[in-house]
Chains A and B, each alone.
Chain A
Amino acid sequence: MISREIGGLEQVVNIEKLDNGLTVYLVPFKNRKNYYIEYVTKFGASIHKFKSVENDRVITVPYGIAHFLEHKMFEQESGEDPFQFFSKYGSDANASTGYKTTSYTVEGTNHIEENLDYLLTYVNSPYFTEENVEKEKNIIIEEINMYNDEPEGKLYRESSKAIFKNHPMRVDIGGTEKSVRTITSNDLYSCYNTFYQPSNMMLFIGGDFDSEKVMSVIKKNQALMSHQYNHKIMVKKVNEPKDVNIKFKELNIEGMIIPKFIFTIKLSLKNIPVKQRYRYALAITLLYSILYGSSSSFREEVLNLGIMSFFATSKVIVDDFLLIEFIAESRNPKALIDKIVEYFKNKEITEIDVERHKKSYIASQVLNSDQVVPTVSNLVDNVIDYGDIIYDKLDIVRSITLKDVLSVKDTIDIENSSIVIAYPKE
């Protein structure tokens, strides 16, 4: 086991790679009653074509399968309900599917060893039958219907289709009613056997616990340790152009009361080595918080003009792309979009801005490191997005200069963006 510290946050991470390929990250906390376990596979909704380890053939699976698989992991051959097991100790179990990962989590205050053992057992014991797969379809379709009815959900979907031409992010994580109807238990096993191998998974445990005991539970878990095979995973890369699919689109959405839009800039990361991506992404975060954050003159101006009632910026990394998103609510969307572009093109950025936002960024990192769940989630994201935990992240922040921010700004082509505006339906 190797032990590393995240500089400046007084946070240690202990890492061990097991013989069967699983990587375990222990994140010890003092002074916390709760613990949080996240068992993650690098399999999410954006994988759709891959070489199945069952027969070495490239197969295409229906959209929404990662999410369907997540639902079905809770089905056990013994008939035991995992939720019931975890609730015995008053703990909270959950699971979630994203585009890049699927996670199985447990949060509790006691019996960490029993819960961990059970989590490893149930996620390593698939039991899919034609019958139990059929039964799940209606539940999932109700879930899809729920999201389909949400006006903002529709806007997101349209926006993804405008950004991407071929990427599976064009389709919702849950898939469509049609794709879900076609899923079979064989499809589920192909995905499971390929992507739920220990070497494609990670186990994170945060909280105040006895590391030795926890490691011994992991190493003694039969279901996990007998899961030995170590096939190379081959995912068919989607050929996604660097340009956005549609630059501008307006539509009317039922149930929407105030117009909203998503403005996304699409950046290719192809020329940036994975190791440098954290620094690059960080400079982008500083850039948009300087230009559009709560203390920016942009905010002040658009609020005073009365053309904004909600505004948020975020960045998403997916495969070799980084998306900068502006999500806003406005009674005059076009005027607000013009302002976003105007500030990007004309607003001067100073040394003082950069230093102030660096200090504030560091402070927010310390704030976020005070709780178990956000700390662990952040580490998971690091590993997924940048291939490893960023141990020197505070030093990286400190090292960024005005020049760095400006040169990163130069790499951004604001014209390579998609704008989708949604108006109420009459």
Chain B
Amino acid sequence: MEYIKKEFGSYNLHMVNTDRFKTINVEVIFRNKIKKEEITITNFLASILAYTTKNYPVKNALALKLQDLYSARLFPSCYRIGKYYNVDFNLSILDEKYSEEGMFEESLELLRNVIFDPNVDHDEFDHTSFHVIQNEEKAQIERIKEDARKYSIIRMLQTLGKNLEFSYSEYGYMEDLDKITPANLYEFYKNFIHNSSIDIFVIGNIDFNKTEKLIREKFKFRVFKKNKDSIILDNIVPRKKPQIVFEEDNTSQAKLSIGCIIDHMTKFEREYVLNIYNLILGATADSKFFKNIREKYSICYYVSSIGNKLDNLFIITSGINKKNFDMMMTLIKKEMQDMDNGFFSEEDVENAKKYYLSILEEAIDKPGQIISSYYAMSLWGVDPLEKRKEEILKVTKDDIIKLSKKINIDTVFLLGGDKN
């Protein structure tokens, strides 16, 4: 596997040559500082660009074209990454060995259409497409409440830090959706295309020179602004005493979401120790939470944790019977206390490391993960894969105890469980 990165001023081109896959994957990533009021319109824009274009002005036309490119897959995804909000256009096609010559170039041309030739007339997006996407976005925003587990996490984060980036809903907001028009969406597009930081990834069995030539021909970005701010969120001042919030909902199972603040992590802690801490405490079926809470006390089906390293947050979730709330809190706190006190074995540490190494090993089995890995390296200086395999081995029990003491419960949110 060979990787090169080229900086062209307006964008970075990353190319990975490998014969491991039957596909070629292309990702065009637009990155902007997150603004709460722009999330909805950004989502809207990404969806409408991938829905119709100037030369494929109705949905059918674009979908048929994708089919004719041997089931090419082209879809946008929008997500927050630390202080930024990204829009990816993902294109996945068969290697020409399995389709026919010329398909790669034709697929890139379609991707170019999607990004540069929007379905716009008189400075307004096509009204038919506009209404379709409007309906979809509206449904997406309304639907969040149907997923109690997700909704409980969103509510917890809003309670934890009302104006901080992690409290923003990636699904968007109804009041912002109401303000979007075919005209102001086009204004937004023009700004977006000229002011985003852009990275293009191509991975597959590719020739670097040919690919570079094709990409430079097709993707003529003229970006005026650079986003140089740090990706990582600022440290938060922890509350002296955790806040506990109950929200009623007529469900049998209450969804518990606990937000913990991690106070001033070092780079090593952020990239390595946190992973090991999380694996030992709550990430797997071999974790302390699973073994000591689910298996011993039989009070829940799931209790698990996740570390959000860019947000300085550690999140715990579970589904419980509401009457067991106090007991659950006691058990969770005890497990966290045990981590502080070093009540875990060297074997736990070793197993967690092996687990993490296995994740790193597997990363090169999937094109998307290879891209994420190089993107993280390029964006906030994550170590290369091989170095990560060495560094993770350096994590000691003392490191974990030290980090554990920096992790403190800040906000506890319990949603529903009110059906008798």
What residues of chain A have their CB less than 8 Å away from a CB belonging to chain B?
Answer: 31-34, 81, 83-84, 86-94, 108-110, 135-140, 142-143, 145-146, 148-152, 254-258, 293-297, 299-300, 303-304, 306, 309-310, 329, 356-357, 359-361, 363-364, 366-367, 369-372
Q: List 19 A-B contacts (CB under 8 A).
A: A33-B362, A33-B364, A34-B365, A87-B286, A90-B351, A109-B357, A142-B253, A142-B319, A145-B319, A145-B321, A146-B253, A254-B250, A255-B145, A255-B146, A295-B60, A306-B135, A360-B70, A366-B98, A370-B23
A32 to chain B, nearest CB (A): 6
Q: A87-B284, A255-B251, A329-B139 are in contact. Are A306 and B132 (CB under 8 A)?
A: yes
Known: A306-B132, A366-B94. 19 other contacts (CB 8 A): A31-B19, A81-B291, A86-B286, A87-B286, A91-B358, A109-B361, A139-B294, A139-B298, A142-B321, A148-B253, A149-B148, A254-B250, A257-B142, A300-B58, A304-B128, A304-B131, A306-B135, A366-B98, A370-B21
Report whether A83 and B59 are in contact in the complex, using a CB–CB cutoff of 8 Å. Answer: no
In the complex, what distance in Å separates the CA atom of A329 from the CA atom of B140?
Answer: 11
Interface residue B300 (Cβ < 8 Å from any Cβ of A):
yes
Contacts of A148 in B (CB 8 A): 252-253
**Closest residue of chain B to A330, judged by CB?**
B139
Given A33-B361, A87-B351, A142-B301: A304 and B142 interface contact (C-beta under 8 Å): no
Across the interface, do A89 and B358 meet the contact criterion of CB distance under 8 Å?
Answer: yes
Q: CA separation between A371 and B146, bound complex, in Å?
A: 32
A142 with B366: CB separation less than 8 A: no
Alpha-carbon distance A163/B131, docked complex (angstroms)? 35
B246 interface residue, CB < 8 Å from A? no
Q: Which residues of B contact A108 (CB under 8 A)?
A: 358
- The answer to whether B357 and A90 have CB atoms under 8 Å apart is yes
Q: Does chain A have a CB within 8 A of B227?
A: no
CB distance from B276 to the nearest CB of A (A): 12
Contact of B71 among A146, A329, A367, A370 (CB under 8 A): A367
In the complex, the answer to whether B132 meets A303 with C-beta atoms within 8 Å is yes
When distances are taken between beta carbons in the complex, the residues of chain B under 8 Å from A297 are 60
Could you tell me which residues of chain B, from 144 to 159, have a CB within 8 Å of some CB in chain A?
A: 145-148
Q: State whether the Cβ of B20 lies closer than 8 Å to any Cβ in chain A.
A: yes
Q: Which positions 291-305 of chain B face chain A at CB distance < 8 Å?
A: 291, 294-295, 298-302
A-binding segment of B61-69, B108-116, B195-203? B61-69
Q: Are B22's CB and A369's CB within 8 A?
A: yes
Task: Name the B residues within 8 Å of A90 (CB-CB).
Answer: 351, 353-359
Q: Which residue of B lies closest to A295 (CB)?
A: B63
B191 interface hit (Cβ, 8 Å): no
B183 adjacent to chain A (CB < 8 Å): no
In the assembled complex, the CB of B292 is this many whole angstroms from the nearest CB of chain A, namely 11
| A83 and B284 form a contact (CB under 8 A) | yes
- The smallest C-beta distance from A301 to any residue of chain B, in angstroms, reads 10
Which one, A88, A135, A143, contacts B354 given CB within 8 A? A88
Q: Is the CB of B362 within 8 A of A34?
A: yes
B272 close to chain A: CB less than 8 A: no
CB–CB A371/B366 < 8 A: yes
Q: Is the Cβ of B70 less than 8 Å from the Cβ of A145?
A: no
Q: Is B92 an interface residue (CB 8 A)?
A: yes
Contact A304 B132 (CB under 8 A): yes
* Residues on A with beta carbons closer than 8 Å to the beta carbon of B139: 258, 309-310, 329
**A295 CA / B58 CA spacing, docked (Å):** 10
B124 CB to closest chain A CB (Å) equals 17
Assess the A84–B286 pair: CB atoms within 8 A. Answer: yes
Which residue of chain A is the closest to B137 with respect to CB atoms? A309
A309 and B135 in contact (CB under 8 A), knowing A32-B365, A34-B365, A142-B253?
Answer: yes
Contact: A146 with B92, CB < 8 Å?
A: no
Q: How far is the CB of B252 from chain A (nearest CB, A)?
A: 4
**Alpha-carbon gap, A91 to B362, bound state (A):** 11
A111 shortest CB reach to chain B, Å: 9
The residue of chain B having its C-beta at the shortest distance from the C-beta of A91 within the complex is B358
B94 touches A363 (CB 8 A): yes
- Name the one of B23, B60, B146, B148 contacting A300, with C-beta atoms under 8 angstroms: B60
CB neighbours of B22 from chain A (8 A): 366-367, 369-370
B148 CB to closest chain A CB, in angstroms? 6
B70 to A363, Cβ gap below 8 A? yes
Find out whether the CB atom of A88 lies under 8 angstroms from the CB atom of B351.
yes
Q: How far apart sit A109 and B361, CA to CA, in the bound complex (Å)?
A: 7
Residues B251 and A149 in contact, CB atoms below 8 Å apart: yes
State in angstroms the CA–CA spacing of A142 and B294 once bound together: 11
Give the shortest distance, in Å, between A375 (CB) and chain B (any CB): 11
Q: Is the CB of B59 within 8 A of A299?
A: yes
Let me know if B99 is at the binding interface, CB within 8 A. yes
A355–B92 CA distance with the chains assembled, in angstroms: 22
| A145→B253 contact, CB < 8 A | yes
- The answer to whether the Cβ of B290 comes within 8 Å of any Cβ in the partner chain is yes
Instruction: Please give, as numbers and ranges, the residues of chain B lying within 8 Å of A364 by CB-CB distance.
Output: 71
* In the bound complex, CA of A370 to CA of B92 (Å): 12
What is the bound-complex CA distance between A139 and B318, given in angstroms? 12
Structural contact, A152 and B146, CB atoms closer than 8 A: yes
* B320 sits at the interface (CB 8 A): yes
Name the CB-closest residue of B to A256: B146
In the complex the two chains form, what is the Cα distance from A81 to B291 in whole Å?
9
Interface residue? B143 (CB, 8 A) = yes
Closest A residue, CB atoms, query B67: A360
Q: Which residue of A lies closest to B290 (CB)?
A: A83
Check if A306 sits within 8 Å of B358, measured CB to CB.
Answer: no
